[in-house]
Every structure is written in structure tokens, then in C-alpha cells.
Amino acid sequence: MKHALKIGALALLGLALANCGDKHEPRTLYESPAFTLMTDKVSEGEWTATALSDHELQSSYRVEDTENTSGRWALSANIDRYPDFQTDAPLLVALHKLSLEELEKLRTPDGKLLNTGAKWAGVWTRDVSYSIVLALAYLDPQTAMDCLRQKVKNGKIIQDTGTGGSWPISTDRMTWALAAWEIYRVTADTQWLKESFEIIAASAKADTYIAFGEGTLALGESSFLDWREQSYPRWMDPVDIYASEALGTNAVHAATYEILIRMSERLGLPAEAYAERRERLVAQLNGRLWSDSLGYFQQFTYGRHYPALSPRPEALGEALCVLYDLTDSERGRSILRQFPVTPYGTPCFYPQIPDIPPYHNDAIWPFVQGFWNLAAAKVGNQDALLHGMASLYRAAALFLTNKENLVASTGHPDGTELNSDRQLWSVAANLAMTYRVLLGMAFEPEGIRFAPSVPEPFAGTYTAEGFRYRQATLDITVEGWGNQIERFELDGEPADAFLPGDLQGNHTVHIILKANGFTADKQNLVENHFSLPAPEAVAKEDVFVWKPVEWAERYIVFRDGKAWASVAEPTEFKVESPALVVMQVLAVDKLGWQSFLSEPVLFHPEALFVEAETVGTAKADGATGFSGSGFIETTQELNNELTFSFEAPAEGEYWLDFRFSNGNGPLNTENKCAIRSYKFNGEYRGAFVFPQLGEPGDWSHWGYSNPIRVEVRKGQNELVLYYEAMDENMNGAENRAFLDHLRVIPAR
């Protein structure tokens, strides 16, 4: 009843203060042309949100889509299981309590699990995993464990429904590993270590076969940015997304291998293979996705046969690279200096995509802002940290809930494609500011390391009473500002800023900061901006042409994934080659920002085709638009091993892909992506994927699979396409596609 008693006492105190004056005068924590954050209120133009007390908020903003339409919030849930947080800024205390109340409201009726949001029932892998890393691991480790266990099937991590039928188009299920390791760091639970290691190792093994290409970067969709046109060019289909390499997803995989190394060492198991994969992956990430001229990582590679880099930065991936030590400290500082941050917070990426409504595009996601703030604290960028924290607090106060996402252009939730109150990872991000930043708690298997980061305007006293940690209960106080510790006391005695994990009973931690330590770095605060649309390009026989783009200052033409020419206006380029040539073009605006590349235009000589109906044991029907005399169906049982033979006129490099259809679901959801391993001339090489391409039941929507580049010998060559255990998709039961033909194109 500690919170209830304090609420009653504070209400009486409030009556007294009304007569004698508040001993804490309101002060400004952050001020900009967009909004002002004070210790007791937020002001933004005509709107104001005020802390009536440390457990009551009132806002003049009226959200169109929200549960609370009264404009007022007062604590009504029992939050006694959590620490009692206090400071002289009643707005921060009220937002902390609001977030804890929302966490309680997200519990399932049996109290054992956490729903994803007010509108989103059930446990979702990436949502709960990122939430666990931010806050749930230390606030409720048992519920965090139970939620992760819900996202395991057949000993492997579940990739929730996603583009083209889920895994392996989306491959960020390994966020589960980040969460599992965070729980172990908090609890040091050896049984959990063993259990989670087996699941992570099995999932990573499947990813090694299916989710990695010829190089060492992971394939698949950007982590959490799983609504195709919201972050990719319109022309990219699920096959294109599978074949791309995304920053955030690769950061997750690289962090996973580091976790497998640490888990293996603690379990007495060999870790060399994991160390080798991590080293290669980190080297590739820094070598291929980093831009010295921009000062940050680039979002993804894309472009089918010859991928190019999209130079947009992506906030979550950048932050993860900093937080999981996937790049050096100088690059980490550069990321926080150079990433374009908008007045209401850090957008998912920058610039925005034109003619796409806000959701991931033109959007700020509080949970991404939370990770960004942790990265800012880690590199010591006070400017970025202050703006990021103020952005989180502004939104939660004005809208009286931790919204799922906000429009970057306005800072408001109204106008987004989808949105929800009390989104779990938004709640976790708000709470992380208290425990991870202001109190500076970093958990390790051996204990808690303290490294508070309190921006100068936030200078004050921050106290969390009743923090439960293993067999101990802690009362923690941080005084002052800065990110260096002047004095650390455990139970009144000087000590190192590290709390051993074997402590038992009640203890006090008192930290006094040095009022210094932050770097002189600033952030790159800019106005929101939209790029130009991608040009529309076509082939007219052997000529590459495109339509002019309004407001384009110039165009950059790409040949085989490389910048090839720069012109001021649309120009015709004649393309002559004995092998495949891929042409694309992008538009550059007056500020120098690039559009996406146009859809690849293929110029190639006559390709070889091997009709599937000449290979399979049974022809299929139920579709139109096929080549040759028909097509075949492949499932786990039917045509589950097919041998395609062709005769090449000369040795050299060739591109191989399959024309297929998959009508098991729409482009944006479900979990029935078909997967097949293959051997070429007797050697295992990887997998072809056949994702859902259209509407459910539409088996006449044909497309080409991911292209594979191989060395072909003159004369007879053989590709064996087959189903094996590693090809099991997230559905398990349905792994089905129609095959029309194999296409063989000379590459050089």
C-alpha cells in the first residue's frame, strides 16, 4: 500500500502548499521553438499538459483516437509491486506512474503475460523483446521469461506474421536473443541460461542456412519496419526485401552472436564458430553499410541482381550499433552528431518518402526514441539526450498515454495509419529513462553497474525506493547532474559504482554526480523533409529512358548497382552487352537528398528456360498466365525434390531464378512463405524463397524468386531444388508454391 499511502499524504500536503506556497518552484527542463518542457508541465503552442500532482495529469490536447477522452489522468491502478520513484519534478513522477499503470493494464486476465498494446492483443516477438531490453527484464523478470516462452515453436523463435509470409522475408526474430540475455543479466538464472541458449542456437543455425546470402550480411526486412511501402520503394516486392540487407536486422544478428559467445563461455561450450561469424558480420556491417561522408550507417542494400545502398539513416539500427558495440566509439559519437533529428524527436529514418501516409514513414516511435536516448547517454551527447528525453515526456504528457507512434511533421498521433494507446514498448521506453538513464542502471550477470546520465537542466535528486533485485531490495538516490560519479555509497559507506549480485536484504545506494562529463557534441536538429519520388524508368528495346521528376535538380544513373552517370535532365542511354545489364536512376533535390532508385530495368540476351512441368511428377492447375504448357505444385510432400538440368553454351557466371506464385496470403501478413534449399552441380549453395505475392487465393500472380549467381560450366549443369528440415517456415503445415520455370541468364 506504499503508493496509496503516499498519494493520500501528498494530497494533504498539496492542500497545505496551496496556502503556504510550493517549496519547489517550477523550472524549465528543455525549451525549443516547438515545445517547452518544465518540471510541472509541457507547453506546445495552444496546448498545455500539467501535472496537478505527482499522480494526476491534465491536458488541453484532444487525441482523435484514444481511450481517455476526458483530458485528465489520475492514478487508479495498484502499482505497489514496482519501485516508488520521486523527484522534485512532479511531471516526471506522474509520467512514471502513468507508465507503470499502463504496464499493469497490459497484463492478460490471468496476469501472466503482457499484451502488445491497447489495440493489439497477444505477445509479439519483437515488441516484447525490445520492451524487455528497455525495462521489463528488471521490473518483472518472471513475466518477461513467460512472454518469451510464448514465442517459441519446435525449439526455435517465432517470427511473427510479416511481409510476404513472415520468415525469412522478416528475419529479426533474433531480438528474442537480446531479451533473453538481458533477463539472464538481471537474474543470473542458470536454468534460464541453458533453456534460452538452446533456443537461440537452434534459431541462429536455421538463419545461417536460409537468412544469409553469399556474403556475410543477413538478408531480410529492416527490424520492426515491416510494412513494405512504409520504408521501401513501391516497386519492391517481398522477394526484393528478402534479398536486401538491412542495418537494424544485421545489428540484431551481430548482437546475437556476441550473446551466443557469452552464453557458450558460461555453459562451458565451444564458442569459436560464433566468434568467427560475429567478427565477419561486424566487419561487413562497418565496411559495406557505413558512410564516412555522411557520418552514419546507411539503411539497406536493394536492387535485385546488383544491389545499391540506400543512403537514408535508420534510427533504431544506428542506436543498436552503438549500444551493442558493433562499431567504434568515434563512429558512435558521429552517429549521434550527424543523424537528422526533427523538432519533435528522432524519426525512424530520414528523409521521408513522398505520398506515403505516416506510420513508419514520417514517424517518431517512442520505443525507437528510447533506444536513441540510451545511445546518446552512452556516447555522452547531452544535446541529443536532452532533446530525446524531452520528446518522450512531451508526447506522453500531452496525449496522456504512451502512444504507439507520432507523425514526425507534427509530433501528434492524429493522422497516423494505425496507432494504439499504452503500446508496450512505448511504455518500456518511458520507464527506461528513469532506470537506465537518470539512475544509470546497467545489469551484468555479476551485478549492477551504475552510470547515471543526468543532463544539466535536469539537475536534482532522483530516488527509487523498493527496487527488487534478486535477493535484495534497494533504495537508490542520484543527486546532481552529469555522467561522472563524484561519490558512490552503499549503505552509507564509500564503494565502487558496482553492486554485487549476491547482496541480500535491504540496502541503500547514494550517488553524487560531478556536474560534468558530457562531450561538447551537438545533434543535427533539422526540419522534417521529404525526398523526391523515385523516377519511372523503362527499356525501349536497347535504350534506357525515364520520365522527368518535378523539382529534380539532377539525376544519377546506376549501372549494375554502381553510380555511372550524372545528368541534369532525362537522357536516353543505349545499352549494349552480351550479358545481363541492370539500369536504374534516382532523382536529387535542391538540398542534395536522393530519391529511391527506380525499379531495375534488365537488359540481357536470350535467357535459357527450363519448364517446371518437364521436371515435376505431377502438373497442377488453378492458375493462368504461365509459360510453356503448364506448371507444377511443390509442397513438403509433393515434388519436394526436383532436378533442373540445362546446357550452357559457355562457362562463366550466370544468374538463376524461378518464376513462381504463392497465393497463400497477402503481401503484408500471414506466415506461409515457401522455402526450398538447393544444390548446384552437387554443392549446397543456399535457398530460394517463394513468398506470398498477392491476395489470398490468387495463384495467377507470378513473379521471380531471389536471383542466385553461380559459376556455370560449359555443357550440362544441374540444379536440385529440395525441401529439408531447415526450410520449415513459421506456419509449419503449409509450405507450398507453384513453379513455372527456371530462368538462366549470363552475368558476365
Q: Which three cell numbers, joined as nine digits, stand for 466? A: 523498493
Whether residue 313 has a cis bond before it, omega within 30° of 0 = no
- pLDDT at position 19: 36
Per-residue pLDDT tens over the stretch 209-259: 999 977 679 999 999 999 989 999 999 999 999 999 999 999 999 999 999
- Range 164-169 average pLDDT: 96
- Range 424-453 average pLDDT: 98
Cα 78 to chain center, whole Å?
A: 32
Q: Which three cell numbers, joined as nine digits, stand for 181? A: 540475455
Q: Hey, what amino acid is at 663?
A: G
The stretches of 106-189 forming alpha helices (DSSP H) are 125-131, 137-139, 141-149, 175-187
Question: Residue 2 pLDDT > 80, yes or no?
Answer: no
- pLDDT at position 13: 35
pLDDT tier for residue 606 given thresholds of 50, 70 and 90: confident
Compute and round to an integer the Cα radius of gyration of the chain: 27
- Range 436-449 average pLDDT: 98
Long-range contacts of 629-634 (CB under 8 A, 24+ apart): 631/738, 631/739, 631/740, 632/738, 632/739, 633/736, 633/737, 633/738, 633/739, 634/674, 634/676, 634/721, 634/723, 634/736, 634/737, 634/738, 634/739
- In sign, the C-alpha dihedral spanning 682, 683, 685, 686 is positive
What is the assigned CATH class of domain 608-746?
mainly beta
Q: To which residue does cell 546507411 refer? A: 298
Question: Residue 14 pLDDT > 60, yes or no?
Answer: no
SS3 107: strand
Q: CB-side exposure of 700: number of CA atoms within 13 Å?
A: 5
Per-residue pLDDT tens over the stretch 624-636: 999 999 999 999 9
3-state helix, strand, coil in the chain (%, to 5): 30, 30, 40
Per-residue pLDDT tens over the stretch 290-302: 999 999 999 999 9
- pLDDT at position 213: 75
pLDDT tier for residue 605 given thresholds of 50, 70 and 90: confident
Question: Residue 18 pLDDT > 90, yes or no?
Answer: no
pLDDT tier for residue 567 given thresholds of 50, 70 and 90: very high
C-alpha distances (whole Å) from 644 to each of 104, 400, 713 are 57, 61, 15
Listed in order, the ranges of the chain carrying CATH 2.60.40.10 are: 531-603
Torsion angle of the four alpha carbons 742, 744, 745, 747, in this order, in degrees rounded to the nearest 10: 120
Question: Residue 704 pLDDT > 60, yes or no?
Answer: yes
Q: Which three cell numbers, joined as nine digits, stand for 112? A: 501472466
Residues above pLDDT 90, as percent of the chain: 93
CA separation for the pair 480, 515 (Å, rounded): 7
pLDDT tier for residue 29 given thresholds of 50, 70 and 90: very high
Identify the weakest region by mean pLDDT among 224-228, 331-335, 472-476. 224-228
Closest CA to 588 of 536, 535, 547: 535
- Range 175-203 average pLDDT: 98
Q: Which CATH number fits domain 531-603: 1.10.760.10, 3.40.50.620, 2.60.40.10, 2.70.98.60?
A: 2.60.40.10
Question: Residue 7 pLDDT > 80, yes or no?
Answer: no
Question: Residue 620 pLDDT > 90, yes or no?
Answer: no
- pLDDT at position 669: 87
- Range 106-114 average pLDDT: 97
- Range 67-90 average pLDDT: 97
User: Environment class of residue 550 by beta-carbon count within 10 Å: exposed (0-12), middle (13-18) or buried (19+)?
Assistant: exposed
Per-residue pLDDT tens over the stretch 270-287: 999 999 999 999 999 999
CA separation for the pair 180, 192 (Å, rounded): 8
Per-residue pLDDT tens over the stretch 192-207: 999 999 999 999 999 9
- pLDDT at position 694: 86
SS3 58: strand
Sheet strands (E) in 206-303? 245-246, 290-291, 296-297, 300-302
Question: Residue 3 pLDDT > 70, yes or no?
Answer: no
CA separation for the pair 627, 609 (Å, rounded): 10
Residues above pLDDT 70, as percent of the chain: 97
pTM value is 0.95
- pLDDT at position 5: 38
CA separation for the pair 486, 494 (Å, rounded): 11
Pairing verdict, β 72-74 and 84-86: unpaired
The architecture that CATH gives domain 109-338 is Alpha/alpha barrel (1.50)
Question: Residue 161 pLDDT > 90, yes or no?
Answer: no
Listed in order, the ranges of the chain carrying CATH 1.50.10.10 are: 109-338
Q: To which residue does cell 538462366 refer? A: 744
Listed in order, the ranges of the chain carrying CATH 2.60.120.260 are: 608-746
Average pLDDT over the chain, rounded to whole? 95
CA separation for the pair 394, 572 (Å, rounded): 51
| CB neighbour list of residue 383: distance below 8 Å, 6 or more residues apart | 521, 522, 523
pLDDT tier for residue 23 given thresholds of 50, 70 and 90: low
Torsion angle of the four alpha carbons 574, 577, 583, 588, in this order, in degrees rounded to the nearest 10: -60
Per-residue pLDDT tens over the stretch 531-556: 999 999 999 999 999 999 999 999 99
CA separation for the pair 702, 627 (Å, rounded): 10
pLDDT tier for residue 617 given thresholds of 50, 70 and 90: confident
- pLDDT at position 667: 87
Sheet strands (E) in 460-542? 460-469, 472-480, 485-490, 493-494, 498-500, 505-513, 524-525, 537-540
